[in-house]
Amino acid sequence: MRFIDSHTHTYLRGPEDLELMAISGVEGVIVCSFLPFNPSGFSTMHDLFKWLIEVETYRLSQYGISARIAIGIHPKSIPESDVKSILDYILTLFDNEKASALGEVGLEIGSKEEEEILIQQIRIANEYPVPMIIHTPRNNKSKILDKLLSIIDSENVDPARVIIDHLTPDLVEKVRSIGAIAGLTVQPGKLTPRDIYDIITKFGTEGIVVNSDIGINPSDPLALPRTAHYLDRCGVSGGDIQKILYSNIRILLPL
């Protein structure tokens, strides 16, 4: 089995995890920008993007893992200053094809400031054919999702380029109904392989991508292989397993 993990923060994990992922068949990852604090300003964000684009891509390649880098301002790590210059810099990185996607971006509490920064980033990404990886929070998920979907609609974003991530099973239908991609995170406290089974039994495998969101929270480098193993034991076909753990994300973001 081959896997592409559609949402990770591998730069926050050690070499043992990368080795485990590589050995278990993870051949590609999408690395999303995030810092677990509010950075002071431009230079921190500049260096974060440099870290991911140059250093983390190389580190992953040493394990035989290909990487695609998503850059953006995460709603939980909005810089204390220089937002405008950071947005200009994000545009330059897309212009020079240094980054492959916008992300992760989104809303955490749904404040006016979060909304404004999200909209500005969507407007930049809309100028390029890049996918957008959109974060949904643990709290108030359904209400925030409605806000996100209305922003996507009013900004004329092609929903087929958008992954709405960390969905709970009850919200998959809403996201799929507008043609956006449903991102499902298999992680302690989020979804289990059993949840993935229930979701694809109900909605099929079209427009569904699974990820580990491996990072600072308790998370599982084997989330994808573990899910594949479970689905296989439940009798799901190899083709369907491959779609949600490999091909669907590969079509959106070729590795």
**Residue numbers of the site for Zn ion (CB under 5 A)?**
213
Tokens standing for residue 252: 């959106």
Closest separation between CB of residue 129 and Zn ion, Å?
A: 23
DSSP string spanning 47-99?
A: HHHHIIIIIIHHHHHTTT-EEEEEE---TTS--SS-HHHHHHHHHHHHHTT--
The residues with which 68 forms a beta bridge, in sequence order, are 30
For residue 209, count CB atoms less than 10 angstroms from its CB and return exposed for 0-12, middle for 13-18, buried for 19 or more. Answer: buried
Residue with smaller CB distance to Zn ion, 56 or 213: 213
Closest separation between CB of residue 213 and Zn ion, Å?
A: 5
Residue with smaller CB distance to Zn ion, 78 or 234: 78
Residue with smaller CB distance to Zn ion, 101 or 236: 101
Closest separation between CB of residue 233 and Zn ion, Å?
A: 28
Closest separation between CB of residue 23 and Zn ion, Å?
A: 23
Closest separation between CB of residue 225 and Zn ion, Å?
A: 19
Residue with smaller CB distance to Zn ion, 17 or 213: 213
Residue with smaller CB distance to Zn ion, 107 or 236: 107
Rounded Cα–Cα distance for residues 51 and 66 (Å): 16
The residues with which 71 forms a beta bridge, in sequence order, are 102
Q: How many other C-beta atoms lie within 10 A of the C-beta of residue 27?
A: 17
Residue keyed to tokens 């990820």 = 211
Residue closest to Zn ion when measured from CB atoms: 213
